[in-house]
Structure 1
Amino acid sequence: MTVTIRDASLADLSVIASIYADAVLTGTASYEIVAPDETEMKKRFQSVTSQGYPYIAAVDESGDVLGYAYASAFRTRPAYRWLVEDSIYLAPAARGKGIGRLLLAELVARCEALGFRQMVAVIGGASPASIAVHQACGFRMVGTLTGTGFKLGQWLDTVFMQIALGDGNASEPDPESYPGTLFAG
């Protein structure tokens, strides 16, 4: 199967909403309990993309969306503006085929090119598959919060992983190079 990574679009949102709904209803990666509808997913998509963050999709040779990923602000206080958080979701049939790694590698590259300095993964349910994907892309473990969520009849841990982008914290960022609009004056 040939997989292409491209910018996600509004036309992809029905599939993206379906992929996310499956994650919400059957998995522990998201701590949401009720799956948002397509209208809400459109609002979220527009919020992320209007602030200059990348939002990408993995598609097969027929153009079907297999998964998606995006970066967004980790926190909204100005000193955090060089740090992004990644999110990756795959259709059930696309899991275990290296598509998550392709999405994450592209997301890391795009965020680095935009001038971000750090990326963090907040891995709900301490998913071994998600941890492995992040490790394969160079992330390191930085902490675990135990018993942070209760879903599907169990207490869940949250794992934090991190990767430096570009110079990371080895040099001061250029305030003029910040790519997003969230912190624009």
Structure 2
Amino acid sequence: MIRKAIASDCEQIADIYNNYVLNTTVTFEVDPVTAEEIAERQKKSLCFLVYEQDGCVLGYAYAANYHSRAAYRYTAEGSIYLKNGIEGRGMGTLLYEALFIAAKELGIREMIGVIALPNQSSEALHQKLGYRKVGVMKRCGFKFDQAVDTSIWQRSLLREHG
């Protein structure tokens, strides 16, 4: 079931996220986060959803302000993370679709996705969900002693499909 995240989810969310922090370049954070930090991020997000099954959080998605300047007030950056080993089962699609609905209800018109490269599965998911690739930023991150590129994706929430 997909639902709004609550405070008691923070420990499981931190566990999911810290796998990415410690083992991948998917996120540019380099230090593990605590449940308390996740709680603060939940409070600051526009919307924060979890995919729960049998009391276990298997993934989460959230929308955050894309930029603090007023002209960006209708644009959000979406992020999604799934528990290690459950990718490819459709949960990411369901989470993102629910995130689109929640964000649109808040007045968001455009969603931005930033994907550290290489990440073919994330790029495929974004394309499947109606995002369009709008650019690549070369060497904008540095993690695990290597430069990392990112691709930037954009999806309109004003139209039914992309």
**Distance in 2 of aligned mates of 1:97 and 1:155:** 31
**Per the alignment, in what secondary structure is the counterpart of residue 108 of structure 2?**
coil
Which structure's CA Rg is the greater one?
Answer: 1
| Contact 1:58/1:99 (<8 A) preserved | yes
**Which residue identity lines up with residue 122 of structure 2 in the other structure?**
S
- Structure with greater strand percent: 2
Distance across 1 between alignment mates of 2:86 and 2:149? 25
Q: Matched residue pairs, number?
A: 160
Number of the residue aligned with 1:57: 50
Q: Residue by residue, what CA displacement relative to the aligned partner does 1:130-153 show, whole Å, maximum 9, x if unpaired?
A: 111111111010000011112123
**1:106 match:** 98
Query: Do the aligned partners of 1:126 and 1:159 also contact (CA within 8 Å) in 2?
Result: no
Name the % identity: 37
Contact 2:110 2:156 in 1 (8 A): yes
Separation of aligned partners in 1, 2:103 and 2:76: 8
TM-score normalized with structure 2 length: 0.93
Deviations 1:83-125 (A, max 9, x none): 0000111110221211111111111122122221111001123
| Secondary structure of 1:94 counterpart | coil
Q: Are 2:23 and 1:31 equivalent residues in the alignment?
A: no
**Structure 1 length-normalised TM:** 0.82
Unaligned runs of 5+ in 1: 168-185
Q: What corresponds to 2:44 in structure 1?
A: 47
What is the deviation of 1:126?
4.1
CA contact (8 A) 2:44 2:64 kept: no
Letter paired with 1:42: A
Residue 5 of structure 2: aligned partner: 8
Q: Which runs of 5+ in 2 are unaligned?
A: none
Q: Which amino acid aligns with 2:128?
A: A
Match of 2:124 among 120, 128, 132: 132
Q: Which residue of 2 aligns with 1:181?
A: none
Runs of 4+ in 1 over 6 A off after TM superposition: none
Q: Hey, what's the Cα distance between the residues in 2 that align with 1:46 and 1:113?
A: 18
* 1:63 positional shift: 2.2
